[in-house]
Structure 1
Amino acid sequence: MFGPPNTIVSDNGRQFISFEIENYFESQGIKHLKSPPYHPPSNGLVERFIQTFKNGVQKLIDCSLPLESAIETILIEYRASPNQTLNGESPAKLFLKREIRTPLDLIKINTHKNNPSLNEETEKTQNYSPKQKKFEFNALIWIRNYGDKHKWEEGTVKEQCGENLYKVEVDGSERIAHTDQMRLRRSGLRNKPTFLG
């Protein structure tokens, strides 16, 4: 209806790395990014949405709402809710260029009229954005090696593949790494970072 996306991000499940799916993505001009192995937070937003969706639908079903109505209600509320990763905008506003009204809007209006300081707190929360780590092309880095506990390897940044994903060269081979798995390596210093967590 709206055409294929420019980019799809998936985990490394067999269904997402098969020859057939890769050919399909290529034929549709879709860039396929795979999250780095051993780094579930790379798909954290998707996993969080699925958990929120399932919990919400289950609660509405427990309140005797039919499954179809429960799904519709959760999707409308989710699409109308401001999202931190969208700079505090709702998916509906970005897509439709306007907010959509929900029954919760009546409650929000009355609450904010009675408590002006709530508006300031809401604005602070919606405008919060954590700092992103950025690495330059050919930057010298340490990259976490999960095959050996507490081991870091020397690498070089080759390309930024996503907001927090980089293609990194390590010992002549390339791999995808999340910024959480990378540390800047100062030239001349051979000290490996310590790993906490």
Structure 2
Amino acid sequence: MSVRVVVADDQELVRSGFSMILDAQPDIEVVAEAGDGGEAVEAVRRHAPDVLLLDIRMPGMDGLEAARVVCAESTCKVVMLTTFDLDEYVYEALYAGASGFLLKDVRRDDLVHAVRVVASGDSLLAPSVTRRLVADVVRRRRTESAAEPSPTRLAVLTAREEETLRLLARGLTNAEIAEAFVVSEHTVKTHVSNVLSKLGLRDRVQAVICAYESGLVVPGS
């Protein structure tokens, strides 16, 4: 079964270029293109894609607002496109429910890989990038709200699931967690799935954010 993708960018050359690269893959199908956030939302509603590549900066409804709508209304995974690796909107995009972000100058192979990874339910952010982004997100939120960590949210997890979440937040892959636990990767995938389900999270990015916000992991640790 092909991964169904919508590409949304107000720059036609970027949009068509990404679409051509993805459509050339035997397991990926670009079902629609959109030139702004409003069109992207309508395309997702109409075509029910697996992945939406969404530019952050667009006229009319921007990518951030479109991401909020899409993530609230569907199970479509959103990948934000940006020209800056530390674009301030990336932080808000993660909170809106995006599964990660790509720079617009991404290499062809990395673009294809990212779509496949996100469609499979994983995060496309490299562990080091995830940790940096999430740590900054949490610092900003706590500074703004002076909120205290709330570990009670994690009470629904077993001890092994909580430890799995801790290692996820530190950037370990499933293979590395399996090695630490001395279990199979399949077992780790089950733990990760349980963590996401019990905490009502979309993907690993949100799991990492939750780990920081709950105080399970402290930025810089």
Normalised by the length of structure 2, the TM-score is 0.24
Structure number with the higher helix fraction is 2
Normalised by the length of structure 1, the TM-score is 0.26
**Which of structures 1 and 2 has the larger relative contact order (alpha carbons within 8 angstroms, sep 6+)?**
2
Q: Which has the larger radius of gyration?
A: 1
